[in-house]
Structure 1
Amino acid sequence: MTTVLKTENLRRQFGDLVAVNDVSLELEEDEITSIIGPNGAGKTTFYNLLTGVLEPTSGAIHLWKDGELQDITDAPPHVVAQSGLSRSYQITNVFERLTIRENVQVARIAHEGRTLDIRSRAANDEQLNADVDELLELTNLTDMAEVTCDKLSHGEKRNVEIALALAIEPTVFLLDEPTAGMNPTETKEIVSLIHELNEDIDATFVVTEHDMDVVTDISDRIVVLADGAVLADGDPQAVLSDERVTEAYLGSEAV
């Protein structure tokens, strides 16, 4: 199995505070990995390091690209994204006044590094439209493609954001609290979508999530962070039965 993302002794300090403490992980293709831990465990900082939002104090990050692991440790966010590491956020981030289709067109055009003249490209670029149609179908948005995003529910906007993140053709897709703020029906739908995408596209999913039912449902592997370091890593059943995890995470009030 191919390692698609690798960190080596990844560390981030803010003064005397060590937010990420020498984290070394190898994430494998086609394996959904959930990264969990109590508040302050370092999950958000870890994601920010992976995506170039923060620079590490020390350590290295490697991403699979063009048949090999390439060093992206000091790359800025736009270069990380172009290299194939995509991220969705807890708070949905879409263009409210554009339709779903136009949102996905913008993301796809931006990934290609070409003109942002949406109307011109949409009218003349058959490949662009074919790519957008495929993304809409993958994320169950085809039937509402012409609806403006300000008319969507929270769960529908989450689907749009996932479509936008997929537009860059990621090797690794980081999902940050994908069910945050959702009702039970929306949660069930997003979990089903993650399963479908994991089967249908060539991308490796990494998830942070507070809902343990979601975590146990979608995960092939669970990594537990505590105080910025890896506390446990492995098969979900083994990790969730670990007494250290029960004390540090499951016994806390929230992730």
Structure 2
Amino acid sequence: MTTVLKTDDLRKQFGELTAVDNVSIEIDDDKITSIIGPNGAGKTTFYNLLTGVLQPTGGSIWLRSGDQNELTDVTDAEPHEVAQAGLSRSYQITNIFEGLTVRENVRVARISHEGTRLDFRSRATGDESVEADIEEILELTGLTDIADTPCDTLSHGEKRTVEIALALAIEPNVFLMDEPTAGMNPTEVTEIVSLIRELDADLDATFVVTEHNMDVVTDISDRIVVLAEGAILADGTPQDVLADERVTEAYLGSDSV
């Protein structure tokens, strides 16, 4: 096992409120890790710290970048620097250009990562390697058949899949998935779960998931970390964590997980 992401005593305060309370965690490359917790547990703040959207009050964040053997300190990095270092995030709310086709959206994301000035609407971009990468991403995510479809005509589930493709375009070492099944019908949930499994098997990337659907969490996770009031409450296999009475108590009176 290789640690690809680590936090040491990570803390975030908003005035007197401690949203993330000295969280220390190591994410290994051979496991899908789900981070769950009741509303207000600090999950979103924790993700925002990892991606550079928020700066921590204390502690540190370390990321394995590219083929490096050692972790890099990204505690003070900006979001684009974190992305370039190899950490990608899919958002709970779709974050795509509705007026562009699926292929054009993936091209924008890929070119942005490469830092290349290209006409993303052109079929002949002059960079065959970029176009080959785009086609590979479309195939991996099952989007080839709708690649030239405008995104504003897609279903919610299809848009979420496009968003996953955009996150993959930066070639992440660590892929944070934020509520990947939010707003989906049962058929779409099944399809996304299958996609996550396939990507985990096919890619040299580590998946970290936050998800309210506990059937999905138990289905895809090798490890579950439970946050409550900004701190780690439980950490272990799905069977062990869900049998923990403290976890049950944390969710009493909560509608979601």
- Which shifted more, 123-132 or 155-164? 123-132
**How far apart, CA to CA, are the structure 2 residues paired with 1:160 and 1:219?**
22
The one-letter code of the counterpart of 2:60 is A
Equivalent residue number for residue 211 of structure 1 = 213
Q: Distance in 2 between matches of 1:157 and 1:32?
A: 23
Given that 2:119 and 2:125 are in contact with CA atoms closer than 8 Å, whether structure 1 keeps it comes out as no
Q: CA deviation at 1:202?
A: 0.6
- Counting only pairs closer than 5 Å after superposition, residues 161-200 of structure 1 correspond to structure 2 as 161-200=163-202
Opposite residue 6 of structure 2, the aligned amino acid is K
Structure 1 residue 121: Cα displacement? 7.5
Rounded Cα–Cα distance in structure 2 between residues aligned with 1:40 and 1:123: 46
Give the match for residue 8 of structure 1. 8
What amino acid maps onto 1:190 in structure 2?
I
2:12 & 2:77 partners in 1: Cα distance?
16
Aligned equivalent of 2:129: 127
Contact 1:30–1:205 (Cα < 8 Å) also in 2: no
The equivalent residue for 2:256 is: 254
Question: 1:252: how far off?
Answer: 2.2
Relative to structure 2, which stretch is displaced further, 156-165 or 244-253? Answer: 244-253
What letter corresponds to residue 237 of structure 2 in structure 1?
Answer: D
Q: How many pairs align?
A: 255
- The answer on 1:84 being equivalent to 2:86 is yes
Unaligned runs of 5+ residues in structure 1 are none
Asked if structure 2 preserves the Cα contact closer than 8 Å seen for 1:106 and 1:116, the reply is no
Amino acid at match of 1:123: T
Q: Which residue matches 1:94? A: 96
Q: Secondary structure at the match of 2:100?
A: coil
Alpha-carbon RMSD across the aligned residues, in angstroms, is 1.1
1:155-178 deviation per Cα after TM superposition (whole angstroms, max 9, x unaligned): 000110000000000000000000
How far did 1:114 drift? 1.2
- What is the distance in 2 between the residues matched to 1:68 and 1:47? 22
Opposite residue 76 of structure 1, the aligned amino acid is E
Q: Distance in 2 between matches of 1:234 and 1:108?
A: 35
Q: Shift in Å at residue 86 of structure 1?
A: 0.3
Matched, 1:45 2:45: yes
Separation in 2 of the partners of 1:104 and 1:96?
Answer: 12
What code does the residue aligned with 2:127 have? Answer: D
Q: How many angstroms apart in 2 are the aligned matches of 1:5 and 1:64?
A: 6
Per-residue Cα deviation, 1:43-79 (whole angstroms, up to 9, x for no partner): 0000000000000000000000222100000000000
Given that 1:61 and 1:71 are in contact with CA atoms closer than 8 Å, whether structure 2 keeps it comes out as yes
Change (3 A) 1:250 1:34: farther
Q: Name the CA distance, whole Å, in 2 between partners of 1:69 and 1:5.
A: 8
CA contact (8 A) 2:200 2:206 kept: yes
Q: Is the 8 A contact 2:104 2:121 kept in 1?
A: no
Distance in 1 (CA, whole Å) between partners of 2:85 and 2:252 is 35
Range with greater deviation from structure 2 (114-123 or 38-47) = 114-123
Gaps of 5+ in 2: none
State the TM-score, normalizing by the size of structure 1.
0.98
User: Does the C-alpha gap of structure 1 residues 250 and 233 become closer, same or farther in structure 2, counting only changes over 3 Å?
Assistant: farther
Contact 2:110 2:170 in 1 (8 A): yes
